[in-house]
Structure 1
Amino acid sequence: MLLAVGAMAFGAVPAHASAATPIAEPTVTSAEYPDDGAWHPGAGVPGSFTFTAAAGEDAVVGFYYGNTDPAGTFVAADHPGGSATVSYTPQASGPNDLYVASVDNAGNRSPNHIHHFYVQSTEPRVDAPRETGVGVPAEVRFSPGMADVVSYTYRIDNGPETTVAASADGTATANIVTANPGSHRLNVWSTTSTGLRSGTADPSYTASEAPLVASTDYPDFVGSGGPGIPGVFTLTPRTPGVVEYVYYFNEDWDNPTVVPADADGRASFTFTPDASGFYPMQVYSRTAGGAQSNRGRDYFIVVN
């Protein structure tokens, strides 16, 4: 039996015929990924698939196959009316379809045989914040979705790839840095000691320059404290070079309060409410050059 991927065993790839000639669809079998409703090896794990021309279809010279319709990859049969075996690697976990059509020497295709199979998940687990800063590192943890993982490779959107080694338990941490604000996708896959690549996890997240605001005395949007009870608020930068913060209450842009930052870009201030109620606050960071964060952090003080 011929083992090939996208290569003719004899002749050339047949041209498409101008008029279709009825050809029966081929049969498709796979030891690793049978069409049996059960779950099988996993995303990134290759399997062999054998295509066989229907009985009596002696004009069949090969097969088109792929995960889209119409399939675009041609493989030649081992002889007219024969079969071919290819190595195919599913890239996504879950239900998968492989479309396969027989083709004769005039380029006529049969109807598709749709080989339906289920692929186990091998994608790594990614524990990452839903929001990061811009230009500052954010710690992300990777955990294996398959055995024998020795490294993880990640990229942000379509950016460059970075590979980090896994520890003995198969996990790893990385500090990702996002250059631009907005929505992004973190693409992550693992690799085993034998070079087997997993499926790709692709969680989305947002990068923002808005500083972080925290208070144990008056947690965000939680009724706390009371009139005359002070609260300490801690500010953390989400972009490099922050030297001060400015905050406003109730979007009163004409009455800002400026708070200088420490050498590490952090700051804190104390606010003492004079009455019960709701105090919406907006907080921005500023750099030494006067550039203000493109977004502010909304924080809601609720005083009992």
Structure 2
Amino acid sequence: MLLAAGVLALGAVPAQASAATSVAEPTVTSAEYPDDGAWHPGAGVPGSFTFGANGDDAVVGFFYGNTDPAGTFVAADHPGGSATVSYTPQASGPQDLYVASVDTAGNRSPQHIHHFYVQSTEPLVNAPRETGVGVPAEVRFSPGMADVVSYTYLVDNGPETTVAASADGTATANVVTANLGFHTLKVRSTTSTGLTSGTASRSYTASDAPLVASTDYPDSVSSGGAGVPGTFTLTPRTPGVVEYVYYFNEDWDNPTVVPADADGRASFTFTPDASGFYPIRVYSRTAGGTGSNLGRDYYIVVK
């Protein structure tokens, strides 16, 4: 975010002349973010940057910004003078601020690159790599800076949601993802004085394939044995599930249907008659007969 004082009206910005110029390269100083190779305040923390004409009396202002070439104009306090702007880095890590002096004819100086390092203030995010669709997934936020009182998050470009932090600065949110596929969760924190952190991003997928779990026969783990029964628990990943359909060994002509209880969960028991490999695929189904788009593959490996 760029917050600049003394920015001229659009009509007062000097026109750009040719690339050939004798305008002096500007000086750039910052108390909060000096170009010294050390780490400084943090993402979301504003700093003041002062641009100087470097002894060139023809300089009437400066172009600056975090892209090359710099595009935001600020007037000097007098010809050959200086200008101070407030600039807030939004991400941690190495950052560059590009600055060029300009004279009344629009001639730009060689561009000065002010290189600085921004400490991380982004929250830590503990979130599952896969969530359901239309059902809440618990996500935990931890502070990356002091005095955090809340977190604001959004999924993709959706609406923002703010949750209060507890006394230790952490918070838990139930994040609901509306659609299948790949998504990005973004979150920032806010302190009691209104200072915002940098933004943390986490990518994940959303699937409506039900979850399958068994302590007797964990997925893809050699367990149990011939004649040893196993209980398998099915958990919905989309609302309104009333039953599950599963298939052994890709035998799509012989489904087994298991009714769900009031909270959409179900379980079944399977007793293998021999050691070996028993692949299962499980789908969920709603009262209207709509099946989950995706099935969950689970592999029973019998000792």
Normalising by structure 2, we get a TM-score of 0.97
- 1:297 maps to 296
CA distance in 1, matches of 2:19, 2:255: 76
| Shift in alpha-carbon separation, 1:202–1:289, aligned structure 2, 3 A | same
Task: Could you tell me which runs of 5 or more consecutive residues in structure 1 were left unpaired when the two chains were aligned.
Answer: none
Aligned to 1:216: 215
Which segment is superposed worse, 171-180 or 248-257? Answer: 248-257
Which residue in 1 is equivalent to 2:75? 76
Report the AA paired with residue 49 of structure 1.
F
Task: Report 1:22-171 matches (<5 A).
Answer: 22-55=22-55, 57-171=56-170
| Residues 51 and 63, structure 1, Cα contact 8 Å, conserved in 2 | yes
Aligned length: 301
Amino acid aligned to 1:286: R
Distance in 2, matches of 1:169 and 1:19, equals: 55
Task: Note the alpha carbon deviations across 1:167-201, whole angstroms, 9 max, x for none.
Answer: 11111111111000111000000001111000000
- Provide Cα deviations, 1:274-304, integer angstroms capped at 9, x if missing partner: 1111111111000011111010111010000
Change (3 A) 1:302 1:6: farther
Per-residue Cα deviation, 1:134-172 (whole angstroms, up to 9, x for no partner) = 000111111100011111000000000000111111111
Paired residue for 1:256? 255
- CA-based RMSD: 1.5
* 2:43 alignment partner, SS class: coil
What percent of counterpart residues are identical?
87
Structure 1 residues 283 and 16: alpha-carbon distance in aligned structure 2, compared to 1, 3 A threshold: same
The answer to whether the 8 Å contact 2:138/2:173 transfers is yes
- Cα distance between partner residues in 2 of 1:210 and 1:173: 24
Q: Which amino acid aligns with 1:64?
A: F
1:275 aligned partner: 274
- Counterparts of 2:6 and 2:33 in 1: how far apart (Å)? 20
Q: Distance in 1 between matches of 2:121 and 2:239?
A: 36
1:5 Cα deviation (Å)?
A: 3.3
Q: CA deviation at 1:249?
A: 1.5
Contact 1:6 1:74 in 2 (8 A): no
- The whole-number CA distance in structure 2 between the counterparts of 1:102 and 1:142 is 43
Q: Is the 8 A contact 1:4 1:84 kept in 2?
A: no
The Cα of 1:22 is off from its aligned counterpart by: 2.3
Distance 1:270 1:5, change over 3 A: same
Letter aligned with residue 117 of structure 1: F
Corresponding residue number in structure 1 for 2:196: 197
In 1: Cα distance, 2:164 partner to 2:224 partner? 47
Moved over 6 A (4+): none
Distance 1:233 1:291 in 2: 23
Shift of 1:17: 1.6
**Which residue type is aligned with residue 285 of structure 2?**
R
Counterpart CA distance in 2 for 1:120 and 1:172 is: 22
Q: Name the SS for the 1:202 alignment partner.
A: strand
What amino acid maps onto 1:145 in structure 2? Answer: G
Deviation (angstroms), 1:18 = 4.5
Q: Deviations over 1:181-239 (max 9, x none)?
A: 11100000000111100000011111100000000000000000011111000000000
Q: Which moved more, 1:142-151 or 1:245-254?
A: 245-254
The answer to whether the Cα contact below 8 Å between 1:248 and 1:255 also exists between their aligned partners in 2 is: yes
Contact 2:154 2:161 in 1 (8 A): yes
